[in-house]
Chain A
Amino acid sequence: MSERHTPRERAFWSIGILVVLLYALIPVAWMLSLSLKKPEQVADRKFYSGISFKNYEVIFSDDTFLRALVNSIGIAAIATIISIGLAAMAAYATSRLDFTGKTVILSGALAVAMFPPISIVGSLFELWRTIGLYDTWLGLIIPYMTFTLPLAIYTLSAFFREIPWELEQAAQVDGATPFQAFRKIIVPLAAPGVFTAAILVFIFAWNDFIFANTLTSTDNARTVPAALAFFTGASQFEQPIGAISAAAVVVTVPIIIMVLIFQRRIVAGLTAGAVKG
């Protein structure tokens, strides 16, 4: 690829990249600008009206938002770990082993991925209430873990299929124990795939709104998306635009950082999941 690129080509691609960047960042920039406005400036329709951190003070002035953050991070993390664990086992089986029912399981997983959440929140509410899981971490972890299993299984299968498993046998022939072979050869090869799947699963759980809204009722388990409903403005009727914007920024910045650091892996994971065909 040693073509030299004409200035026109460079200009063309520069514009394209700029457009993509604008596309991605305009809503984020708007939320940032709203979060830095003073209450009386909120209605001025401008992007920049000076900087005030009042809104950030407000959202951290009581426990609600902090606890929601803790809940979101904790629930998403645990759901991710469990989901990856279960999915890795299933993905190993479906990509490496031969058995009847493989298609059934994979199709079933696909079916689960297609479920309209609204169809089951009502029933889950009743069920959780009876068992005692309503408004608990476990009550959210279980549905999150389940709905991310299909995504995780497909992604991991695609990765596992790329691993040259013969290397493991070769290492054993060379004198390594099965466990050593597994640890030194397979794990490093599988790690990127597992890592990628974990990020995808985490983002899915982090994002959910409808389960969090219905299956929680106190800050025991309420995650950030559901907690946004509890922000108030200065009066009973005032829209808490400033507070919600500040919360939005707080919750988005880590995602942006994470995405910047791990963008290669996430892209690899999503495209691998598609190649499975």
Chain B
Amino acid sequence: MEAASTTETRTATPPAKKGITDRAKAERKLAWMLCAPAVIAMLLVTGWPILYALYLSFQRFDLRFPDQKEFVGLSNYSDVLTSSTWWSDVWTTLIITVVSVSIELVLGMLIALVMHRAIFGRGPVRAAILIPYGIITVVAAFAWKYAFDPTSGFVAGLPLISDTAQPLNTKAGSLLVIILAEVWKTTPFMALLLLAGLALVPDELHEAAKVDGASTLQRFFRITIPLMKPAILVALLFRTLDAFRIFDNIYIIQPGGALGTESVSILGYNVTINRVNVGLGSAVSILIFICVILIAIFFVKALGTSTAQQRGEEA
């Protein structure tokens, strides 16, 4: 679109290259001036701390012994990367991420379909779906924690759950509760992103396919899903990045990452804030950041190939 408007500008204003360059220059200057405050804010608040964290990660620095601060190169990184705790935490985080995002995708799609095709009651559904989105995460986490509390929760009183098999007493059960809390909270966001994608699928294609005798399921998997691919990938990208950084829910439901539910962010918190070993904690933080970048690259590549594929198909 931008290319079209620039061409228009070029044809609208008669030659004399100097004039165009001036105008383009003025536009560029205005653009940068408008963007500057936002860019400066983002650079300062994220750029500087991450650089400082990088600097700290090369130090042996424990806040309790400030005089013993010294440069140790990569030894913090090697300590983290050779510890089984780090890798098991990465594994735990990946499990939580993959399971919750998968569930959110399916659930979100179902809810998006309800919002898109419901023959009545779309208003209440939309409002209802936004409640989990609007509730404070830790408040919801408390709700789930108390619901599953072995002593006082209503889940414990349900006939199916025996006194000894309480979810919060085991690692698997706790992970399930955490995933449940995470899924409950963020499926609305996923549903809305998918709804936007759904809205882009032209009805005519469905009509044509119906005429050809395709069933609902066939139409869904052969028309809807492929056309929604970019929307699905964008939704997956955002949600996966968010899920990998999970913190609030674990902090409230199983404080300290108890019973093996420690995620990488919780580990970072334990080392940086609880043990005030900021050198080591910064190394953990940088490693978390690298993991997130890797995930983003993976999805952007997938998104790029998908969009290119689409363009190729359309061309």
Contact A122 B281 (CB under 8 A): yes
Give chain B nearest CB distance to A274 CB in angstroms.
4
* Complex-state Cα separation, A277 to B272, whole angstroms: 37
Residues of B within 8 A of A66 (CB): none
Contact B282 A101 (CB under 8 A): no
Residues of A within 8 A of B269 (CB): 118, 210
Contact A119 B289 (CB under 8 A): yes
Contact B135 A28 (CB under 8 A): yes
Contact B135 A252 (CB under 8 A): yes
Which chain B residue shows the least CB distance to A32?
B143
Residues of A within 8 A of B142 (CB): 31, 228, 244-245, 248
Contact B288 A118 (CB under 8 A): yes
Residues of A within 8 A of B38 (CB): 86-87, 89-90, 109, 149, 153
Which chain B residue shows the least CB distance to A256?
B131
Give chain A nearest CB distance to B271 CB in angstroms.
10
Q: Given the known A-B contacts A21-B124, A120-B53, are A275 and B200 also in contact in the complex, defined by CB atoms under 8 Å?
A: yes
Which chain B residue shows the least CB distance to A270?
B192
Contact B53 A123 (CB under 8 A): yes
* Complex-state Cα separation, A225 to B248, whole angstroms: 10
**Complex partner residue of B285 from A92, A93, A94, A122, CB under 8 angstroms:** A122
Contact A264 B126 (CB under 8 A): yes
Which chain A residue shows the least CB distance to B120?
A13
Q: How many B residues, CB 8 Å from partner?
A: 97
Asked whether B127 is an interface residue with its Cβ less than 8 Å from the other chain, the reply is: yes
Asked whether B60 is an interface residue with its Cβ less than 8 Å from the other chain, the reply is: no
A243-263 vs B, Cβ < 8 Å mask (1 yes, 0 no): 011011001100110111001
Q: How many A residues, CB 8 Å from partner?
A: 97
Contact B53 A271 (CB under 8 A): no
* Complex-state Cα separation, A183 to B42, whole angstroms: 30
Report the stretch among A42-50, A51-59, A172-180 that lies at the interface.
Answer: A42-50
- Contacts of A105-155 to chain B: CB distance below 8 A: 105, 108-124, 126-127, 142-143, 145-147, 149-150, 153
Contact A117 B245 (CB under 8 A): yes
**Complex partner residue of B126 from A10, A225, A267, CB under 8 angstroms:** A267
Q: Given the known A-B contacts A31-B143, A93-B35, A118-B247, are A203 and B134 also in contact in the complex, defined by CB atoms under 8 Å?
A: yes
Which chain A residue shows the least CB distance to B235?
A274
Asked whether A189 is an interface residue with its Cβ less than 8 Å from the other chain, the reply is: no
Residues of B within 8 A of A89 (CB): 34-35, 37-38
Complex A-B, nearest 3 residue pairs according to Cβ-Cβ distance, in ascending order:
A45-B157, A123-B49, A271-B196
A residues contacting B by CB (< 8 A) are 5, 9-10, 13-14, 16-17, 20-21, 23-25, 27-28, 30-31, 34, 42-47, 86-87, 89-90, 92-94, 97-102, 105, 108-124, 126-127, 142-143, 145-147, 149-150, 153, 161, 203, 206-207, 209-210, 214, 224-225, 228, 241, 244-245, 247-248, 251-252, 255-256, 258-260, 263-264, 266-267, 270-275, 277
11 pairs of residues in contact across A and B, judged by CB atoms under 8 Å: A17-B121, A27-B143, A102-B31, A119-B285, A225-B138, A252-B135, A255-B131, A255-B135, A259-B133, A270-B193, A271-B199
